[in-house]
């Protein structure tokens, strides 16, 4: 794949799940099978080490190993390969960003540090340092619900103005007004939205470029996005409306949707086990029947 620009980061870019065996070890065979499946879904990109990848639950050696598998498995596929830098130390984040670029990542995602509540100046220094360390696009993540960290639209606009290879993943809840304010200040910016695509159509209407959901029903997000791009707004709204009752329930807790998505992947035969490392979330019988209903309804 040729070198991407910030404008090439758009569309449906799911976060890869991290399959484990029933005893809690990384399941490399399932991971490869899942990546190969995702490369055929019509998604534009794929990101590893997001929250849906259970990144805090991986050992350092495991993280390096799956990073290598991720890049090599998707080499030559139509999707761009993004990898998230989640370190709380600026020096370590810079090293990891350079390492991922050298490994062959097409783009990075950056979760700003929040452990022990660093100052706004320290966070800005961290973001700038990573952006200065690489020349591939960097998705700067704004997830205040998960990090407890507030960044103003003006602060994000300052990042955008200074670094043309910065892209933005905005997932405050709700994100639409924030995104509108940000895009007024930085109309050239590329914005994607996470949050399971709850606000997908509102964000596209506000000027967003794409969505970064989990990966277990990527085809549904691709269908919605394609309807939107083709101007079939009614079809996009109808399909998104059918999806909402499910994701609104699962998104009440991060661990809940991580487990639901993994169980979906297992039921679809894409991974062998739906084990999530502890602490996690136990699904009820109602949850399991809802997942079966979901698979039938969306013909997955």
Please state the residue numbers annotated as binding site for pyruvate. Answer: 212
Interior CA angle at 245 toward 243 and 251, to 5°? 95
Cα distance between residue 298 and residue 185, in whole Å: 39
- Whose tokens are 């849906």? That residue is 52
Q: Please say whether the beta carbons of 215 and 34 come within 8 A.
A: yes
Concatenating the DSSP letter of every residue in 202-232 gives HHHHTT--EE---STTHHHHHHHHHHHHTT-
Q: Please say whether the beta carbons of 54 and 277 come within 8 A.
A: yes
Using alpha carbons, select from 8, 2, 12, 6 the residue that is nearest to residue 40: 12
Cα distance between residue 172 and residue 140, in whole Å: 13
Neighbours of 245 (CB within 10 A): 10
DSSP 8-state secondary structure symbol assigned to residue 2? P
Cβ neighbours for 92, distance < 8 A, ≥ 6 positions apart: none
Residues in binding site? 212
Q: Is 76 left (phi over 0), alpha (psi -120 to 50) or beta?
A: left
């Amino acid at each position: 794949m040729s070198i991407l620009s910030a404008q090439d980061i758009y569309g449906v870019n799911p976060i890869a799940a991290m399959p484990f065996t029933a005893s809690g070890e990384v399941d490399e065979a399932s991971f490869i099978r899942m990546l190969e499946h995702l490369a055929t879904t019509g998604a534009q990109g794929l990101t590893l080490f997001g929250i849906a990848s259970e990144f805090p639950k991986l050992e350092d050696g495991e993280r390096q190993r799956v990073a290598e598998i991720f890049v090599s498995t998707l080499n030559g596929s139509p999707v761009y390969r993004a990898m998230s830098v989640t370190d709380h130390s600026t020096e370590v984040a810079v090293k990891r960003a350079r390492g991922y670029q050298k490994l062959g990542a097409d783009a990075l995602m950056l979760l700003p540090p929040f452990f022990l509540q660093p100052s706004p100046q320290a966070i800005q220094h961290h973001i700038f340092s990573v952006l200065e360390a690489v020349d591939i696009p960097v998705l700067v993540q704004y997830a205040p619900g998960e990090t407890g960290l507030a960044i103003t639209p003006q602060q994000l606009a300052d990042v955008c103005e200074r670094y043309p290879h910065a892209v933005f993943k905005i997932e405050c809840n709700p994100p639409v007004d924030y995104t509108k304010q940000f895009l007024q200040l930085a109309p050239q910016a590329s914005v994607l939205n996470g949050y399971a695509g709850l606000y997908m159509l509102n964000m596209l209407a506000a000027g967003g470029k794409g969505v970064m959901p989990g990966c277990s029903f990527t085809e549904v997000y691709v269908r919605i996005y394609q309807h939107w791009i083709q101007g079939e707004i009614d079809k996009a709204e109808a399909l998104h409306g059918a999806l909402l009752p499910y994701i609104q329930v699962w998104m009440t807790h991060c661990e809940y949707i991580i487990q639901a998505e993994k169980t979906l992947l297992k039921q679809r035969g894409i991974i062998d086990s739906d084990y999530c490392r502890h602490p996690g979330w136990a699904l009820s019988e109602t949850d399991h029947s809802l997942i079966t209903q979901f698979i039938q309804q969306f013909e997955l």
